[in-house]
Every structure is written in C-alpha cells, then in structure tokens.
Homo-oligomer: A and B are copies of this chain.
Amino acid sequence: MMAAAGVNVVRMAEFAWDRMEPRPGAFDFSIFDETIDVLGAAGIETILCTPTAAPPRWMTSANPDWFRENASGVRMTHGSRQHVCTNHPEFRAASERITRAMAEHYRDNPRVIGWQTDNEFFCHISECFCPACGRDFQRWLREKYGNIQALNEAWGAAFWAQTYGDFSEIVPPRQDRPTYPNPGAQLDWFRFLGDAIRDFQGGQVNILRSVQPRWWITHNGTFQHVDYWNLAEDLDFLGVDVYPGFTVQKPEDYWWAAVKNEEARSASGSYIIPEQQAGAGGQWPYLHRTPDPGQMRLWAWQAVAHGADGILHFRWRTCRYGAEMYWNGVLDHDNIPRRRYDEFAREGGEFARLGDSILGTTLSVKVGVLLENDQDEAHQTMPMGLPSPDEQRRVILRELLRRKLEAGYVNAHDSFEGLGIIILPGFVLMDEDLAARLGEFVERGGLLVATARTATRHRNNHVSEFTPPGFLRDVFGATVEEFGKLERGSIDLEMAPGVVAPVGDGYEILSLRGARALGNWQCSRWPAPHAASGLPAVSHHVHGSGSAIYLGTYISADNAAALIGLVLDHANIPPLAVASDGVEITCRHSASHRLYFLLNHSGQPASVSALPVGTDLITGQPCDGDCTLSPFGVALIKA
C-alpha cells in the first residue's frame, strides 16, 4: 500500500530502544533489518532515529538518579517518555552507546539515507532541576563569566541581596521560592537549556558523522527554549513537525501552520517535515477535530509552499495501544484504507511527479519578520501580561499573508540581503552589532519597523540606561518618553484624522528627534484626560536611503490590519496576486523560474486573479492570470 501511494522514504525506530537493546549491551536490530529490506525492495528508503527520548525500563531501574527532577524537586517516574535527564553524564554516555551501536550496524546499509536525532526535544518538558543539571549550569556560567563578580554584575545580584560568592552556590531557578526570580538568572537558565540540548545532540551527531559521512542528519522541532538557528548549525537541515489540529479550528486559521513552517525555514533554509498531520491527533486530554477532506493534502502542499523539501506523515497505521492510540494515522486501527489513504496517495503521486520542478527553488521573501530566540527567552523572564515576540510574529505573519505579500520569518543572525522591509516584533534586547546591521539596512534603502519596547534592554537583560530605543535612537529619530499598560480599549491610535486603530495592552509616548509623527494617541473610553492624549504614537524617519517607522505599541490581532497597512503605505511591495482572505499564496523561485503556490484554506471555491501567465503543474492546464480553486484546493503555477 505504501508503494502504491508513492511513498519513497519512511522514518523509524525513534522509540524502540527496548527493542534494539532489550538487555544492557545485548543489541538486536533484526526487526528493523527485515523491515528496511522489505521496504527497500519496494523502492522505499529509510530514515533512522536515535531512540533516546525513551530510555528502557532496565536502564531507569538501574539508574533512578537519571530521572528528571521537576520544579518542585520531585523525581519523575517511568511510564511515559522524555523522563530522563539529557544532561546526566552517564545518560549521555548511554545515548552515545546506542547511537554508535545503531550507526555501526547500519553503516553499510544503502537503504538508510539519513538520521533524526532523538525526537522533539522539549516537546513536553524543557527543564530539569536534578543535581547534574545544577552542576552543568554552574559550569556553563563559569565558562561564560569567568569570575563570580562578572556574574553578580550581569545578574544585578545586588537586588534583594542575591550576591554569590562562588559559582558552586548557584542553583537553577526552581519554582519553590516565595516570589519572583531574578530575570538575569532566568535568562541565562533558558539559554543554558538550549545550549545543553544542543550539546546532547552533538554527542550523537559526532558519532553518526564519523561512522558514515554520507548520511544527512536532521531533528524535528519546534518547541520552546531551543534556539533552532544554533541547533541547525550541527545538522544538515532542520525538520519541523506540523500538526495544525492543535489550533486550526476554523479554515481561516491556516496561518498557524504557516508559522511552524516559517520557524523551521528561518532556522535552516531548506527543511523537511518529519511528521505532517494525517488525521485527528488524540491524547489523554484532547482529540483534534478531524481534518476535512482535502486538508491533509493542503497542509502538505502548504509546507512545500514555504520551502519544505520533504514530507512524511505521522503515522502509517494508527497504533492499537499506548498513550497515542488515538493519534490517527493514514490507516485506521483496522488497517483498512479509507479517505485518508486515498488523499495520501493523491498527494504522494503529485509530489513524485512534481518534485523535480520544486527542488532547487527557495521561498521568495521581501518582508521579513525578524526572529531571534533570545528575544523570546527575554520576554519570558518578565512577561508582565504583555504580548510576546512570538504572539506578535504570528499576527504580523498572518496579516502579511492575508495581503498576499512575499513574507516570512528571518533570523536575526542571517543576512538581510534582498529584503525590502524588516519588522522587529518585541526585540527588547539590543546590542551594538545588531543595531549597526539594522542601521545599515536602512541606510541602504530598506524600511525598518519596530514595535513597543524595542531595544530597551542590554543582552544581560538589564534595562538600558539610555532612553529607548537606545542603540537605535538615531535610526528612528525618536525617543520613548513614557511607556505604560492600559486596559484594552482605553486609548486608541489616530493614524490620520478619523482613522483610528484600536490599541491594546501598551502605549508609548514618542519624542520626535528628526522623525515626523504618523499618528497620535487619543483617549477613548478612559474617563480622564490621559497623559498621552494628542502626543505622537508612531513616527517615520528618513535615514540614509531608507526609512524607519517606530510603532509605540504592540501589534495584536485587532490592530494588525491597520498598523501593517500604515507601514505598507511607506513601502512599495506589490502582492503576489489577488484573492480572498482564505487563500494563501507564496512563491518559490530559482534562477530559471518562479512557482506560485495557491492554497485555498476555505471550504468554499475561491478565485485568484492578477497572477502571471503560466501553467498549473498539478493539472497541466495553462493559467492566463486567473485561477479557480476548489474547497481546500491547491494550484501550482509555474511562471
């Protein structure tokens, strides 16, 4: 059935440690040998996974101190997965032993083409407070700071008498304290978590690369406290597991899955989907809504539309037991092919046929939404109920896609080449290097956009001693004289006489130092003369060949259309085509051609116009600039 459906690669072994090493040191790969052979004979290649997310019971029985320790100091128990501390040196050794055993066993198997490390780092749990983690954190800090005085300064330890005399006195920030933690310590803890899991993975990667250099290696994200840009440095490309069922409740929620794809693409350029939803996912507390006919294929195409170069669905047949026994696969529990199999086979046939046209192209991005893991971490150290960078990125991306722009996430460490607009959502941390690179972007003609609280802290999480936006003051030609949070609806932003955007959560009062105001604050429902009334809220500053817009508020679902509209008034970025809100359009291009991906996320037919003349590669029909999509339909216009 797999071969008939066009499958050319499978993924296996990710939780099979107990099968491969049923007793300590006694390895048995026979079931996988046999399976790989059978699949290979049908032309299907194999990706192997290291099984380290589920250490077997004989191992945890013998080593109870390998279990993670939770934030209350309680040791985990056996019985689910991710139960063992990935920083424990003895478990790291065990992880490397099983990786080496697998690698050496499969070194010469031509059907094994690549590897996935572990499985979804931090998907359930990212923190561990065991003694091994405590020691590792101390070591990490010692390497970072060199001496304890430097750490005390970086953490502002003088506050609340938290000065440390030695690195050995430091404990991870557990929840069992009377009140809030030190935000400097918390930020370093989050950074440590990401570095530590990269180290853990590194031990496996080194072995795999040394045993068989032809293998490629990936990992399936994306989850919090991992810096995927860093993690991907050690990989050939990143993977991302996409389960729209977690949040797509209405067709127009398609943008959520776009977010997951953009997270992966911005971290590693080319990427794959190791797990694409194949039916409703179900676990103890929830059961996803079942995808409508066509949605599984649509989401697979959406991934390709954002740059994915490989798609695997999770899972083949729905497992009849275990914690994921209602995580539906392509086949049901009774192994009978039904509509999901048919859709899977259709998709498989299309990819087999069109793969060559797609591989080698990359996503075209003109409007970049800047992403940096450090910003997300910094927000979490002091959220104060304000919108996170992640929340802002999502609504900005949704709004840009709604306008059919060539838009996507861009990692702050990457080149800004080719971008017309860069939007900084919640970049509270700023350093002189990044500020200089952003300044150059503007000087060379780009449009830079920032939201509230941008560049208000240094990298050590101290609030800057400079009036915001600190290192970017000259670029924006404005300073922030007051910041505050107000109940939603108490103040609005007047962008032009009578043109008002609802503003929630936060306001900033700007002082213009070269910039001009694009909009002012106006009181709405607050029954008092607000301090910000009539004062500048949005500024526009010509700087070099480009310009910079400072938005003295957060971008949220209810003001994104207005604020992004205001930004676009000052740029010249044409849409890819014209279509209703439920239609997503992206473009992948190479030197030779452009591919327009038209994705109808609505349950109604939809039309697209203002396309270039070309050919729909899926149907083979010519496209004269207009195109009609069936419900949940897809078109791929080559122009």
- Docked Cα-Cα span, A159 to B286, in Å, equals 19
Q: Smallest CB–CB gap between A171 and chain B, Å? A: 5
Closest partner residue, chain B, to A154 (CB atom): B321
Complex Cα spacing A18 to B161, Å = 5
- Contact digits for A142-162, partner B, Cβ 8 Å, 1 yes 0 no: 000000000000011111111
How near does chain B come to A35, taking the closest CB pair, in angstroms?
Answer: 14
Please indicate the chain B residues that have their CB under 8 angstroms from the CB of A251 in the complex: 527-528
A486:B290 contact, CB within 8 angstroms: yes
Q: Report yes or no: B290 in contact with A179, Cβ–Cβ below 8 A.
A: no
Complex Cα distance, B249 from A487, in Å, reads: 8
Inter-chain CA distance A326–B463, complex, in Å, is: 9
A289-323: CB near B (< 8 Å → 1, else 0) gives 11011000000000000000000000000111111
**Among listed A363-371, A379-387, A440-448, A537-545, interface-contacting one:** A379-387
Give Cα A313–Cα B324 distance, bound, in whole angstroms: 47
- Tell me which of A411-419, A464-472, A616-624 binds B: A464-472
CA distance A289 to B504 in the complex (A): 12
A57→B79 CA distance, assembly (Å): 36
Within 8 A of B (CB), among A258-302: 280, 282-290, 292-293
A121, CB-defined interface residue at 8 Å: no
Asked whether any CB of chain B lies closer than 8 Å to the CB of A51, the reply is: yes
Kindly state the separation between the CA atoms of A486 and B280 in the bound complex, as whole angstroms.
10
Min CB distance, A483 to chain B, in Å? 8
A386–B56 CA distance with the chains assembled, in angstroms: 32
CB A600 to nearest CB in B, in angstroms, measures 11
- A290 to B531, Cβ gap below 8 A? yes
Are B156 and A320 within 8 A (Cβ)? Answer: yes
Beyond A285-B385, A487-B289, whether A171 also contacts B56 by CB under 8 A is no
Q: Considering the chains assembled together, what is the distance between the CA atoms of A22 and B157 in angstroms? A: 13
Asked, given contacts A70-B176, A280-B485, A336-B467, whether A631 binds B529 with beta carbons under 8 Å apart, the answer is yes
Assess whether B603 is in contact with A155, with CB atoms less than 8 Å apart: no
Which of chain B's residues has its CB closest to A486's CB?
B289
Contacts of A336 in B (CB 8 A): 467
| B461 & A82 in contact (Cβ 8 Å cutoff) | no
Q: Cβ of A177 and Cβ of B79 under 8 Å apart?
A: yes
A214 at the interface (CB under 8 A from B): no
- B-contacting 9-mer, from A182-190, A205-213, A346-354, A493-501: A182-190
A157 partner residues in chain B, CB cutoff 8 A: 18
**Residue of B with least CB distance to A59:** B161
Instruction: Indicate if A181 sits at the interface (CB-CB under 8 A).
Output: yes
> Judging by beta carbons under 8 Å apart, are A484 and B280 in contact?
yes
Q: Contact at A178–B81, with CB atoms within 8 Å? A: yes
| Residue A569 at the chain B interface, CB threshold 8 Å | no
Interface residue? A197 (CB, 8 A): no
A338 part of interface (Cβ distance < 8 Å): yes
Known contacts A80-B160, A165-B57, A251-B528: does B289 contact A325 (CB below 8 Å)? no
Find chain B residues with CB under 8 A from A319 CB. 156, 159
Q: How far is the CA of A184 from the CA of B161 in the complex (A)?
A: 39
Contact B159 A528 (CB under 8 A): no
Are the CB atoms of B15 and A161 closer together than 8 Å? yes
A573 within 8 A of B: no
Contact A160/B280 with A72-B72, A176-B70, A293-B529 known, Cβ cut-off 8 Å: no
Q: Which residues of B contact A254 (CB under 8 A)?
A: none
Kindly identify, within residues 467 to 520 of chain A, every residue whose CB is under 8 Å from any CB belonging to chain B: 467, 481-482, 484-487
Q: Is A54 located at the chain interface by the 8 A CB criterion? A: yes
**CA A530 to CA B632, docked complex, whole Å:** 12
**Binary contact track A166-199/B, C-beta < 8 Å → 1, others 0:** 0001010110111111111100000000000000
Give the residues from 18 to 74 in chain A that come closer than 8 angstroms, CB to CB, to chain B. Answer: 18-19, 22-23, 51, 54-58, 61, 68, 70, 72-74
By beta carbon, the residue of chain B nearest A122 is B178
| Given A159-B322, A163-B57, A529-B293, A334 contacting B465 (CB threshold 8 A) | yes
Residues of B within 8 A of A178 (CB): 68, 76, 80-83, 124-125
- Tell me, in angstroms, the Cα distance from A158 to B250 when the chains sit together: 36
Q: Mark A368-394, 1 if CB is under 8 A from B, else 0.
A: 000000000000001111100000000
Complex contact B485–A288 (CB within 8 A) = yes
| A598 at the B interface (CB under 8 A) | no
A55 cross-chain contacts in B, Cβ below 8 A: 161
Binding site for B on A (CB under 8 A): 15-19, 22-23, 51, 54-58, 61, 68, 70, 72-83, 124-125, 155-165, 169, 171, 173-174, 176-185, 249-251, 280, 282-290, 292-293, 318-326, 333-336, 338-339, 382-386, 460-467, 481-482, 484-487, 526-531, 602-604, 631-632
* 19 interchain pairs, CB-CB under 8 A: A18-B161, A22-B163, A75-B176, A76-B178, A80-B177, A159-B325, A183-B325, A282-B384, A283-B384, A284-B382, A284-B384, A287-B385, A290-B484, A320-B462, A320-B464, A320-B465, A325-B382, A325-B462, A336-B467
